């Protein structure tokens, strides 16, 4: 089982690295498509298809068909979160001699996951009301996009730099901190209808008694039972599948 987990981590890390290097702005581009719709509505203009919406539409379609694999494997901001969390976890256990990785309780995670929906609503409301252009320089993902493209953000992005720093601190404390709690595009993905064949399932009768390794390993503490109220929170990291001692977790019908 450990060999399977190591293999999965290496494959996932390799895919994440490729997307991080070749397409680090996919997340911000996809959300720019969403914003363009509401900015047009706020300006009283017709909504016109644009290059941002090409990316948005493609990712939403892929999410409906295959689940949130973009979040688990291709989002550069999510990959950054994984690297920061794993790096801090190593320090946490090696330097501070802690046995477990840092993380929040199941109840706390479930509560904080609602924050991203509130943030999404506020951002879209700011677009419709014309407030969003005044927020220029306060976006942490804009700062991240600049850094990944080799540009240093200027003084006008002071708030965005501070927010990015706070998010990086949060990434140390919980696996996929930003993705689960703050990502507005993650909120969009989470409410998309996902085909049943893309959901992770398990046969409970085949599970060892009092096991629960899949739920304990899941960053979102999800029950692996197919279509549930929180299925949209699954980022398709496959951690549950690789930790299962009986290989009892699968996708498809």
Q: Whole-prediction pTM value?
A: 0.93
Q: Provide the sign of the torsion angle of the four alpha carbons 172, 239, 28, 190, taken in this order.
A: negative
Tell me if 166 sits within 8 A of 217, measured CB to CB: no
Residues with Cβ within 8 Å of 236's Cβ and at least 6 positions away in sequence, in order, are 66, 67, 68, 69, 71, 72, 73, 200
| Number of folded domains that form the chain | 1
Q: Which pLDDT value is given to residue 2?
A: 77
Domain, as residue range, for 110 = 2-250
Q: Which pLDDT value is given to residue 229?
A: 79
Could you list the pLDDT tens digit for every one of the 253 residues in the chain? 778 888 888 999 999 999 999 999 999 999 999 999 999 999 999 999 999 999 999 999 999 999 999 999 999 999 999 999 999 999 999 988 888 899 999 999 999 999 999 999 999 999 999 999 999 899 998 999 999 999 999 999 999 999 999 999 999 999 999 999 999 999 999 999 999 999 999 888 889 888 989 999 999 999 888 777 788 999 999 999 999 999 999 887 6
Tell me the C-alpha distance between 83 and 195, whole Å: 30
Q: Provide the sign of the torsion angle of the four alpha carbons 32, 33, 34, 35, taken in this order.
A: positive
Q: Provide the sign of the torsion angle of the four alpha carbons 175, 181, 184, 185, taken in this order.
A: positive
Q: E strands along the chain, which residues?
A: 201-202, 249-250
């Amino acid at each position: 089982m450990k060999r399977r987990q190591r293999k999965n981590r290496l494959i996932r890390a390799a895919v994440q690295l490729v997307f991080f290097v070749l397409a680090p702005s996919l997340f911000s581009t996809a959300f720019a498509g969403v914003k363009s719709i509401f900015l047009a509505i706020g300006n009283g203009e017709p909504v016109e298809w644009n290059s941002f919406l090409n990316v948005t539409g493609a990712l939403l379609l892929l999410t409906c068909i295959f689940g949130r694999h973009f979040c688990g494997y291709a989002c550069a901001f999510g990959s950054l979160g994984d690297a920061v969390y794993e790096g801090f976890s190593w320090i946490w256990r090696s330097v501070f001699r802690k046995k477990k990785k840092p993380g929040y309780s199941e109840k706390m995670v479930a509560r904080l996951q609602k924050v991203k929906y509130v943030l999404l609503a506020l951002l879209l409301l700011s677009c419709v009301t014309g407030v969003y252009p005044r927020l220029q320089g306060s976006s942490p993902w804009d700062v991240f996009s600049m850094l990944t493209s080799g540009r240093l953000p200027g003084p006008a992005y002071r708030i965005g730099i501070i927010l990015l720093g706070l998010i990086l601190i949060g990434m140390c404390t919980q696996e996929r901190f930003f993705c689960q709690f703050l990502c507005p595009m993650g909120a969009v993905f989470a409410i998309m209808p996902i085909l049943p064949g893309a959901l992770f399932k398990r046969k409970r009768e085949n599970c060892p008694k009092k096991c629960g390794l899949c739920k304990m390993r899941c960053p979102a503490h999800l029950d692996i039972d197919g279509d549930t109220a929180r299925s949209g929170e699954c980022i398709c990291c496959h951690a549950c599948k690789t930790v299962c001692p009986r290989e009892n977790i699968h996708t498809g019908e």
